[in-house]
Structure 1
């Protein structure tokens, strides 16, 4: 993106952006705001760049699910899983049937919306923690209304996904779920399954640029390892502010580029 006429620098930027994205995802989230534009900078078409970036960052979600599996609320797991699968597949199918030019025009808006969602996730997290004070049994949550509320979010995850995790947590909280660890675990499950179904769809449709995907995956994993080691040493509000500023800057760049073209 930033070094369109210097291929070697594009490769360097992909490696650096993927590493930083892994660090960001391990510490606060929002890594796609860097790794996705870097994939575009390699000359990958917008739809394929989004699909490839989804695959590259997905292994980190698997490790998170493995870590949090003990906190998953079992009675809600089937509803969340089925909704995630349906939403992820539908979102991926719509993405693959979106014209490249149309998706290119959507990119700055999607990044900006994702940044806004991420920006308000701090206050949302504090609100959820204030609610998570009861130790008694969680209230019954009606399955069909929950599925209807979660489906648009899972669709968005399959289509683009930035910032959607906190929407999952907010919906679950609005339905009466109060235990913070369970909220976070189901959020990760929903994101992982939605993206997995999207990835399978992308693979069958031949939408993955594998040589760039593998490079990004390796360095994102390395960045995730680094980020996990230092996550507790960095102020969370500073990290969140950095992600928001990065997202706004990237969205602004794409708005400017469209105005020029």
Structure 2
């Protein structure tokens, strides 16, 4: 009886966490900091939890891509797509060949890394926006970018997205900016393209290897979508700095919890 009550509690937490993750992703990002530990909480093994969580949260990326498709730089699509596909598949394959106990030891470090990246993304995003405005005032246009260096810069980040992914979008934007893309909307659109493709390739790999627990995945997907809809309606009413701080605190708290659990 006690075991059944505990399982029901964990299942309810998965529902609530998926909804919260959807709201977080719509407002600021970082939903994986809540959804991934919830998957572990219902007893899903670490690698399957990461794979299942990737599938559950991916539709939100697809809807974002649909909204931003007008800002995509088509001349960069071949190299971004190649890096995303190669990195996403490689990251997923390495994840699936990682031992459960090894990945469990990596979880707090991955969560902490994601939280730190998310935290520093605020000042860097502000710098990118200022750079974008300056470019518009000076009537600069995005210069032609050499494809091979850009591919080599994006490949390890897309690998990380396929392997775990938290904070990967910020890294993608940073690399694109360093290569000379100055318009903020373009940076955001290309970030979503790379993350969406990397995760999609990872998803196909996870499905082919039977790493998805579909009964948990579908529940998480439905409630994450509902949370995303609610979050999108209220996102403009919230202070972005406060939202970012909340996400960072949640990420660090989860990392501390798993460090303590592994101690």
TM tier, smaller: over 0.9
1:101-132 C-alpha deviation (Å, 9 max, x unpaired): 00000000000000000000000100101111
1:126-173 C-alpha deviation (Å, 9 max, x unpaired): 010111122332111110000000000000000000011010000010
Alignment of 1:241-252 (within 5 A): 241-252=245-256
- The partner residue of 1:226 within 227, 230, 241 is 230
Quote the Cα distance in structure 2 between the aligned partners of 1:191 and 1:108. 22
- The partner residue of 1:237 within 236, 241, 248 is 241
Unaligned runs of 5+ in 1: none
Dislocated runs of 4+, deviation >3 Å: none
In structure 1, the residue corresponding to 2:248 is in which secondary structure? helix
Question: What residue is the counterpart of 1:167 in the other structure?
Answer: 171
1:214-236 C-alpha deviation (Å, 9 max, x unpaired): 00000000000000000000000
Question: What residue is the counterpart of 1:177 in the other structure?
Answer: 181
Matched, 1:122 2:122: yes
Instruction: Quote the RMSD (CA, aligned, Å).
Output: 1.1
Question: What residue is the counterpart of 1:36 in the other structure?
Answer: 36
Residues 204-213 or 134-143, more deviating: 134-143
Quote the Cα distance in structure 2 between the aligned partners of 1:5 and 1:239. 33
* TM-score in terms of structure 2 length: 0.96
Matched, 1:137 2:141: yes
1:176-226 C-alpha deviation (Å, 9 max, x unpaired): 110100000000000000000000000000000000000000000000000
1:7-50 C-alpha deviation (Å, 9 max, x unpaired): 11101100010000000000000000000000000100000000
Alignment of 1:48-67 (within 5 A): 48-67=48-67
Quote the Cα distance in structure 1 between the aligned partners of 2:157 and 2:124. 16
- The partner residue of 1:210 within 209, 214, 239 is 214
Quote the Cα distance in structure 1 between the aligned partners of 2:258 and 2:54. 20
Question: What residue is the counterpart of 1:110 in the other structure?
Answer: 110
Question: What residue is the counterpart of 1:100 in the other structure?
Answer: 100
In structure 2, the residue corresponding to 1:231 is in which secondary structure? helix
* TM-score in terms of structure 1 length: 0.97
Seen in structure 2, the aligned counterparts of structure 1 residues 4 and 246 have a Cα distance that, compared at 3 Å, is farther
Alignment of 1:142-157 (within 5 A): 142-157=146-161
In structure 2, the residue corresponding to 1:121 is in which secondary structure? helix
Matched, 1:158 2:147: no
